[in-house]
Structure 1
């Protein structure tokens, strides 16, 4: 007898069979179907396999096909436990709901307004928000991909109120730097001033204590969820709960990474689900697959089908719809001095040679190794001094010659340009992907009151000048703090600077399109005066890895614009003549990024 059960402690499908079934032809067919359609099952002994329930949900169609093909009858050849049967019934309902959805389906404005009014929702939704909430409220699982500043958090809370039942609770999984925004929006959206999010942090025992009180609204970071997925699943998430993923592209790596596995492990449980991201596919279309799997684990999806599927369940307010004022992109192209150029060409040829060999081997570890080598090129082009502390660097004499000529053209330009802007009365935001660059630029601009933020700067009270919040407050409120230097990996989310700063300079960029777009949006978002010009300067060295980064970012942003039907994402350069004038994540490089680098290297540096 084949048995299908649900292990609530591990949130897995548990499939067992008796010794008499060892030679049954359906057994191998079933195992092959599970291996082909879902995450690879784990064998426990000779007659038991386990796999995450969300993954089994996606494979249930293949399972039924095997059962039908071999004429297996429930009660005679297999049985399903009550818990598993209930989950399978819910999966079938969710799949049917998705199949019945279309872009025209929506809850009426009047019904949305009535439910929000009855729930004590006090914020007045904009026309775009009413459209989005009405569309999302029709579905048990949906996505809002609106641009920053369009009110995704407000839309999410309205969605919860429209679809919730009396005993529903809400768990938001978010980057820690987004916690304050959720607290603020909850306070602004509800008449009940006593409502607030309980932050699930402080270690396992403390989180267990907090969950024992059955809070109505909960916040947990992606990192914390990885440490206590069992506590969250058992106490915070049930069939009456709603689970929202803020900055949902954080799970783009899929089940291969623990962050995504922890999130996907909850996917089959909640009553309602929502994902929120302004940049849902920072690398490629494949980034959408795990996000859709969280929403509808019971619907089989792959990179070929995910665009069509996600279009049926997402809403987006574009910058064009918000009628934002002009964002001007200026490309600053500089020449490397001869010594830096000679060393760069040598390093590039070595990295290209290693990359060709590594790509023939394949594998994620190989890609990461290439990414680290390419990161050294990005470091060297941005600031040659970053390699001076690398004891493994094999061209010390050439590096010394390079450093003898100064900081390098990019650092020199950024320092000079920042001073020009400050002296004209403008506050300046400077971005670099490298921690040492962030600290170095802030130190060099200390006389302008420069402060910096990177991953090593802790969160805390905004009255503490050494915290992230304190530095942001100083930049926004202190007339003597005219420069903020930041790392996009640490500061591209959860910060609004558009009220005080209208000029950003990128010393360097990584291949991560989400970091770039979100960092841009810190100063170009809803709320700007109609006549306010916002300027972004991108500083590049000619015939260098900078140009490959630009090509790849344009390709990724262009593809995202196509998928999201948002032509406003595309970048239009305005030229500027400047000829007179370990924070980076190597793992964000895709195989396509590496091949683009190799193509440029083969053509002598010109992409």
Structure 2
């Protein structure tokens, strides 16, 4: 397929979901942009898809999915002059990846074993400078720009018995978990937290249900509860059955999605929507509710953002509120705090790109 594409010439190469090409270590990034030579001093792009078009447009709602370092492949391939030194502004040359990484990211060496350490990004630095380098590179349209109010994001700490909190923490190595988060290694996170992650969700579910009952008693009309594991959805469905539950997950037939959506939008007796994060994260309108809680979270910010947007659109007249439920004083809470640090650095870079 790549050879067939390279045999043609295009006016525009449009890269949908372009955030997937965030590292030159990935073959898909090299197929699109080329291969780095001498650490980035040169880009070998004669067999790159980006080289066969008169112009390249990157389409994405999450241009920096993990950290400021994710901007490097796009800039190196499509706007390399933005990386050269500018003596008037005291900007160094960051054409090489390592120079870019250490100029705009806080990098720490973290041990993955007794014998191996790897560099991981734990935050951003010199972000005003990076934002200025990138000015005009993005054409950003926010929800507010098109008349939609974005959600308000909050953490919702849950108190559970000490024994339950210890069970949720299990024997997970918090240091190793945070290393995997900083490195954006989802597979490593699954390795460390796989079974424990499901157990944590099951432990949280009854506490979430109790909090939902309190919200309904206080006047809340409807709520969307986003989750990851089927067992967590089962607990929530049982606990909240009295409030009228609708559910959409991977087992829901495609032919039934539309009717479930319409029930949620029109039937006031259906007050709880259980949304599996991947299955219900796109192409569904849940805006008859203005409140969404993540009972479980995804390790990928993109999934969280897509799910959050299900309760926001032009018909939403209320301020949408998204809460991430965490077990107080647990590994669960520490994970979400670290993810929030990285996401804050990303927002600082792209937040004002309104060229």
TM-score with structure 1 length normalisation? 0.41
**Does 2:345 align with 1:559?**
yes
User: How many angstroms does 1:484 deviate by?
Assistant: 2.5
**Does 2:125 align with 1:339?**
no
Contact 2:9 2:52 in 1 (8 A): yes
**Does 2:25 align with 1:256?**
yes
Contact 1:509 1:549 in 2 (8 A): no
- d(CA) in 2 for partners of 1:434 and 1:230? 40
Relative distance call for 1:340 and 1:445 in structure 2 (3 A) is closer
Aligned with 1:509: secondary structure? coil
Q: Which residue of 1 aligns with 2:201?
A: 382
Contact 1:476 1:497 in 2 (8 A): yes
Q: Which residue of 1 aligns with 2:325?
A: 539
Give the unaligned 5+ runs of structure 1: 1-227, 384-407, 568-607
- d(CA) in 1 for partners of 2:143 and 2:164? 40
Deviations 1:394-447 (A, max 9, x none): xxxxxxxxxxxxxx3x21132234456668572321112334323543465456
**Does 2:59 align with 1:289?**
no
Candidates 278, 287, 292, aligned match of 2:61? 278
Contact 2:143 2:150 in 1 (8 A): no
Relative distance call for 1:434 and 1:256 in structure 2 (3 A) is farther
- d(CA) in 2 for partners of 1:442 and 1:259? 40
Q: Which residue of 2 aligns with 1:488?
A: 277
Contact 2:206 2:235 in 1 (8 A): no
1:565-576 superposed matches below 5 A: 565-566=351-352
**Does 2:161 align with 1:373?**
no
Deviations 1:185-239 (A, max 9, x none): xxxxxxxxxxxxxxxxxxxxxxxxxxxxxxxxxxxxxxxxxxx5455x26xx842
- d(CA) in 2 for partners of 1:440 and 1:481? 17
User: How many angstroms does 1:338 deviate by?
Assistant: 3.0
User: How many angstroms does 1:559 deviate by?
Assistant: 0.8
Q: Which residue of 1 aligns with 2:86?
A: none
Q: Which residue of 1 aligns with 2:140?
A: 316
Aligned with 1:267: secondary structure? helix
- d(CA) in 2 for partners of 1:283 and 1:337? 34
- d(CA) in 1 for partners of 2:210 and 2:268? 20
Candidates 235, 241, 247, aligned match of 1:452? 247
User: How many angstroms does 1:540 deviate by?
Assistant: 1.5
Aligned with 1:556: secondary structure? helix
**Does 2:223 align with 1:428?**
yes
Q: Which runs of 4+ in 1 moved over 6 A?
A: none
Aligned with 2:225: secondary structure? strand
Q: Which residue of 2 aligns with 1:108?
A: none
How many residues are aligned here? 294
- d(CA) in 2 for partners of 1:472 and 1:546? 31
- d(CA) in 2 for partners of 1:329 and 1:456? 29
- d(CA) in 2 for partners of 1:472 and 1:293? 43
Q: Which residue of 2 aligns with 1:497?
A: 286
Contact 2:308 2:322 in 1 (8 A): yes
User: How many angstroms does 1:373 deviate by?
Assistant: 1.3
User: How many angstroms does 1:544 deviate by?
Assistant: 0.8
TM-score with structure 2 length normalisation? 0.66
- d(CA) in 2 for partners of 1:444 and 1:259? 44
Relative distance call for 1:454 and 1:230 in structure 2 (3 A) is farther
Aligned with 1:347: secondary structure? coil
- d(CA) in 1 for partners of 2:3 and 2:271? 46
User: How many angstroms does 1:562 deviate by?
Assistant: 1.1
Q: Which residue of 1 aligns with 2:312?
A: 524
Q: Which residue of 2 aligns with 1:512?
A: 300
Q: Which has the higher contact order (CA 8 A, sep 6+)?
A: 2
Greater strand share, structure number: 2
Contact 2:152 2:320 in 1 (8 A): yes
User: How many angstroms does 1:502 deviate by?
Assistant: 0.6
Q: Which residue of 1 aligns with 2:205?
A: 411
Relative distance call for 1:515 and 1:566 in structure 2 (3 A) is farther
- d(CA) in 2 for partners of 1:260 and 1:431? 31
Give the CA RMSD over aligned residues: 3.9
Give the unaligned 5+ runs of structure 2: 34-47, 84-94, 105-129
Decide which structure has the larger Cα Rg and report it: 1
Deviations 1:229-284 (A, max 9, x none): 455x26xx8423433233322333x3434554554442212233222223221211
Candidates 258, 261, 266, aligned match of 2:49? 266
- d(CA) in 2 for partners of 1:521 and 1:246? 19
1:466-485 superposed matches below 5 A: 468-485=257-274
Deviations 1:359-412 (A, max 9, x none): 7xxx999x84454213444333222xxxxxxxxxxxxxxxxxxxxxxxx3x211
